[in-house]
Structure 1
């Protein structure tokens, strides 16, 4: 005769395995294929958008290397390449651990932004690029501040909080360089 405690344990394990196989954890939440708890819709959206924005920062930094007239703008562009490449790598690792497929290339909206700036050179490029960098970093800071406070996943929250100081540094630098080139 099976003891009631053992029977309950076996049934609970069976139900847990059955619901995991159906894409749910024992509490009814969604899981990834690896059985890890999936990110909430909001956390997933943050990761995906942060990945796209990071790719854009790198691509525009590369464009600044080619089209900028000001050494300060070129230097800023290189900083975006270096810093955002490092952040993008950390974000890709986080996304992989969480079962999120982070974008590996720009979407249509971001490609249009690159195309628009790629038609400019010299001082015209410098002003447009630095204006975009101020706007983009202001938006990024808002998104990362929100995620650092409201993300449901602790790793996403931690990533957002850890990245904020670098984004604030970028914004301060973008404003400084923009101030130098906007009157030229």
Structure 2
């Protein structure tokens, strides 16, 4: 009889101990899920929660040979050509102009477009776009025209070309920003659009001051 009571007591104590441990575990981990994580909570292969768009590869969700990617590549190539032309024309204006406003603007073109070009080249490299090593035929034509001019004639022609170029660039950057879904390119476009807007405002003021009429 005593042996039975001892066995019963041991069984009761053991059961109570299991219940106590389970209760303590539950109190220590109140948020522990009782069921497996649902499919919507699982991380997809290759993704990392909290990763910003700028940290992801440029072509993560984009066909590198698809229409959208080709448009991005074409814009980057043209933007690099245009930036190269702005730098070269700015250097020419620094050499030929004696107008302080024109020279100041020209120096700004060299500095700002060199910086933007550096940012754009990083995107070009990631997109697989080879940066151009020479300006476009249009830029060459403008350069040839301006090289033949001197003095006030050069200043007026340069101012007029800069107004026209920046008006066109402003439209193209705005449209490219709307078209692209590439986060890195969109960021550079945003920087470029802001810069071009400032340049346009400045050159329009210089044009007005020097009685240069440039069509919009």
Structure 1, unaligned runs of 5 or more: 1-24, 32-36
Structure 2, unaligned runs of 5 or more: 1-58
Q: Quote the residue 2:70 is aligned against.
A: 41
Equivalenced residues, count: 154
Aligned partners of 1:107, 1:132: CA distance in 2, in Å?
A: 15
CA contact (8 A) 1:131 1:178 kept: yes
* TM superposition shift of 1:112: 1.2
Establish whether residue 100 from structure 1 lines up as the match of residue 129 from structure 2. Answer: yes
Establish whether residue 131 from structure 1 lines up as the match of residue 165 from structure 2. Answer: no
Q: Quote the residue 1:147 is aligned against.
A: 176
Cα distance 1:28–1:165, how it changes in 2: closer, same or farther (>3 A)?
A: closer
Aligned partners of 1:106, 1:129: CA distance in 2, in Å?
A: 17
Runs of 4+ aligned residues of structure 1 deviating over 4 Å after TM superposition are none
Q: Quote the residue 2:205 is aligned against.
A: 176
CA contact (8 A) 1:147 1:160 kept: yes
CA contact (8 A) 2:102 2:159 kept: yes
Aligned partners of 1:46, 1:28: CA distance in 2, in Å?
A: 16
Q: Quote the residue 2:139 is aligned against.
A: 110
Aligned partners of 1:180, 1:165: CA distance in 2, in Å?
A: 23
Greater Cα offset, 137-146 or 157-166: 157-166
* TM superposition shift of 1:98: 1.5
- TM-score w.r.t. the length of structure 1 is 0.77
CA contact (8 A) 1:72 1:177 kept: yes
Q: Quote the residue 2:103 is aligned against.
A: 74
- The one-character-per-residue Cα deviations of 1:108-158 (angstroms, maximum 9, x if unpaired) are 221111111111111111111011111101111111101111113222222
CA contact (8 A) 1:147 1:156 kept: no
Greater Cα offset, 161-170 or 47-56: 161-170
SS at structure 2 position matched to 1:40: helix
| Aligned-residue CA RMSD (Å) | 2.3
SS at structure 1 position matched to 2:134: coil
Establish whether residue 29 from structure 1 lines up as the match of residue 63 from structure 2. Answer: yes
Match of 1:121 among 144, 150, 159: 150
Q: Quote the residue 1:59 is aligned against.
A: 88
Greater Cα offset, 102-111 or 121-130: 102-111
